[in-house]
Chains A and B, each alone.
Chain A
Amino acid sequence: MSTMLAPSDEAGFAAVIAEAAAAKEPLSIIGAGTKSCMLRPVQAARSLSTRNHGGITLYSPNELVISARAGTPLADIETALAEHGQHIIAEPSDLASVTGAKEPQTIGGVIATNLSGPRRVAWGAMRDHLLGIRAVTGAGQVIRSGGRVLKNVTGLDLCKLLAGSHGTLGVITEVTLKVLPAPEMVGTLVLHNLDATAGVAKLSAALGSPYSVSGAVWLPREAAARIGPFAGSVALIRIEDFAASVGYRTGRLRDDLGHAETDILDDAASRQVWRELRTMAALPTEHDDAVWRVSVRPSAGPAVLRTLAEGVGMRGYLDWGGGLVWLAGPPTAEAHQTVETAAKLAGGTWTLMRAPEPLRVAVDVLPPEQEVLARITRRVKMALDPHAILNPGRMYAGL
């Protein structure tokens, strides 16, 4: 077990990193450690955690902005927002059921992994609403990018570069997010017993309608049964708005989509179903399963899922209108290879979300970059982390 350092202020992070940089000693960068099972394992004698660096530092509901230190539990932020009827736009997933995490995830971890939930398909990813960031680079320097205003194109956008960089370019110490009013009501149109291809065609029609659909998921029977009283496969289409609009829009979609077997879930039932989706309850995982996310163009999702389900017995479902394929299957290099092949064939990407360490070391947990881009990647890594001490090897071997 590695030694954990957990400073309580930004200067503390800068000091630890500067010292580690001088010694060229790698650090494993974590928040609460809930996503340590993702990507490649980091070999480091010491870990640096943001868990003691928490707290909301600014919340201005009328300006739709909130700032919090990286170690703030996501749940604390959501509670503060809920008191003012607001929410985090990309509704980040809670992966605890997949990762086995016992502690609550931090906002810093959510940003560093850019993990977004079902609403991402319509309203953008976590990185889309990241207005400002403070971070400590691998040289121990504190940098800021963006700010606390909703629009900002001043200088290079390091917010987006650091979001999703998995702690390899800097240790995020504070973030500022755009937030939005939470909806008055949630409604869900359920289309029963469509296969994946037909289901995704309906989801595409719904997302391509004027009705502001904010969630579009297709679940095979096994996944559907895990989150609601559904007897077969379901396509779920969510509307979030004022009550009158929810009624009107779900009704119009039901008429326009022209499917015989439909239901409309009321506010309470809708909130329940989408909460289950957000906590990954629909993904049937067995104890030692590996878990992948594959992102493809929505119309390609059904073929990816079918290939992997029929070919190697994987289980999964489709979010983001068909474009996000969640998969659980055997933790083997062969299984991983089939995921890679299917993702490449569909022109998309994959992320290994959970697997035993030997597999995470042996395979490409993310798509390798073309050589020209990999060269830029190495230079950018050097520009921010000149001694390669921040989460070395987490995304790519040797980087």
Chain B
Amino acid sequence: MIRQPEPKADVLARRDEIVAGLRALLRPDAVIAEALLLRPYETDGLSAYRQPPLAVVLPETTEQVAAVMRHCHANGVRVVPRGAGTSLSGGALPMADAVVVGLMRMNQILDIDYADRCATVQAGVTNIGITNAVQAHGFFYAPDPSSQLACMIGGNVNMNSGGAHCLKYGVTANNLLGLKIVTVEGEILDIGGAHLDAAGYDWLGLLTGSEGQLAVITEVTVRILHSPEGARAMLAAFRSNEVAGACVDSIISSGIIPVALEFMDRPAIHACEAFAHAGYPLDAEAMLIIEVEGSPAEQDDLLARLRAICERHDPISMRVSQSAEESLAIWKGRKGAFGAIGRISPDYLCMDGVIPTSRLPDVLRRIGEMSDTFGLKVANIFHAGDGNLHPLIMFDANDPESFHKAEEFGADILKLCVEVGGCLTGEHGVGVEKRELMPVQFTAEELEQQRRIKSAFDPGWLLNPNKVFPLAAASA
């Protein structure tokens, strides 16, 4: 179980006064302080943990966010920024003495420039909302986390979100040009813009993935790209994880970088097939979904090359999509993976470690051994091209023992990821979930260095406190 620290007694004691101050700054319906109405904000995608905040504010402009921040800063009140609340690591988990700054009403597209290939939007625009706004012109916003229908761009920036297609297009950090931020003191700053590369320090890069530790992000300028002429997927099934892993190596060394390269193990294949009826090979130990882009002729050429590579690894079966519809069917099972696991297990934890891709077979074998030891089932889904592993650990939340074991199992997987040369999180963030594991990856001096940088932005440690850094020594 993850501990939460004691709330500040003086802030709780002044609750009414602090809320009254917020009400003076915003429209009446933009300040929530009633217990019943606070409930939707008490948790996020890590729903095992719940804590209603002191209050929630729903600003509509950067100036309103700045006014809220000045008020909170003057009163020593902690602030938890929140987008859609889809964080799988508890990045938006409130504290009893904190004001949640919900950015969901900041949902305006401010500017789209096709010639300069950028769009400026408020932080509460959903990830898919950007693509929806530009797709009539043939453009899209590339990073595509699984939660893209709901998750918001401000949260994507804070977590440096990835997705299934980042092997080719990069993660959020690689697709950003500028930010508007509000400091903990309530001052508004523009970082970057429509141009490439800062001339001074790379604040854009530091803020991306900072998990709300450094500032509140209110506007984002992203790079938009023209969509490819088309895309098509193929599916290849193999006799073992080792063979599928070797096939991934062969693909990468052939000079082809597919736009997506997804790996599923036997439990994942079975769960997804039962759910989606995508025609997945139930006799396989491992399966790859490989997607390429280009004109129909280019797709044919790349798929033929990939087919030839897969042939060298004694596949059980292969299926090359002949149409966009068939590609959708191949993706349907993968994209429905979380729902599929949800059908066969009352609850699951979605882990997010990263490993050197060459260690995949070894890591999957050891996860299998851990699964036996803990007595919990696990299904593995893997962004194979970039080494991002998503083990889904199945457990029963009504059984505290089962939940406890699932957390231990997850922690052991992440420690294994670090042991083989990888890291604790590839795209979900540290949040509260992996906070106490940080010393597995970093030395005390390295964590202290990161804390000093946090302190440079937030000397009083009011911004999204008790996340990212281990609790024992979290505050400066």
Contact = CB atoms under 8 A, between A and B. Distances in A.
Interface of A: 60-65, 84-85, 114, 116, 120-121, 124-125, 127-128, 137, 141-145, 147-161, 163-165, 169, 180-182, 184, 201, 204, 207-210, 212, 242, 244-245, 248, 295-299, 320, 323-324, 347-351, 366-367, 369-370, 372-373, 376-377, 379-380, 382-384, 395-396
A207 to B, nearest CB: 6
A383 B301 contact: no
A380 B206 CA distance: 11
Contacts of A349: 195, 197-199
A297 B118 contact: yes
Interface in B393-407: none
Contacts of B447: 155
B60 to A, nearest CB: 23
A159 B160 CA distance: 14
28 contacts: A60-B356, A62-B252, A120-B197, A144-B446, A147-B421, A149-B387, A149-B421, A150-B385, A151-B354, A151-B386, A154-B438, A155-B446, A156-B206, A156-B210, A156-B450, A157-B209, A157-B210, A160-B205, A160-B206, A181-B256, A208-B115, A210-B226, A297-B116, A320-B196, A347-B193, A349-B199, A372-B187, A395-B201
B226 A373 contact: no
B445 interface: yes
A160 B171 contact: no
B452 A152 contact: no
B119 interface: no
Given A157-B206, A297-B195, A379 B387 contact: no
A63 B387 CA distance: 9
A295 B195 contact: yes
B266 interface: no
B173 A128 contact: yes
A127 B176 CA distance: 13
Nearest to A378: B456
B322 interface: no
Given A157-B205, A210-B229, A377-B200, A149 B117 contact: no
B126 interface: no
B425 A154 contact: yes
A84 B428 CA distance: 33
A251 to B, nearest CB: 11
A149 B196 contact: no
Given A157-B206, A204-B117, A349-B195, A149 B200 contact: no
Given A114-B197, A149-B387, A165-B201, A297 B252 contact: no
Given A151-B427, A208-B115, A164 B226 contact: no
B229 A154 contact: no
A145 B252 CA distance: 26
Given A163-B205, A351-B199, A372 B422 contact: no
A143 B195 contact: no
Interface string B423-466: 11111111000100010011001110110111111010000000
B174 interface: yes
Nearest to B428: A153
Contact of A161 (B201, B253, B427): B201
A246 B380 CA distance: 38
B442 A155 contact: yes
Interface in B174-216: 174, 183, 187, 189, 191, 193-206, 208-210, 213
Given A149-B354, A208-B117, A366 B199 contact: yes
A62 B115 contact: no
B196 A154 contact: no
A63 B357 contact: yes
A369 B423 contact: no
B162 interface: yes
B357 A62 contact: yes
A127 B427 CA distance: 18
Interface stretch (B282-290, B291-299, B325-333, B362-370): B291-299
A153 B257 CA distance: 22
Contacts of A141: 445, 449
Interface centre among B117, B191, B425 (most CB of A within 10 A): B117
Contacts of A180: 257
Contacts of B115: 201, 204, 208, 298-299
B380 to A, nearest CB: 16
B275 interface: no
A373 B179 CA distance: 13
B358 interface: yes
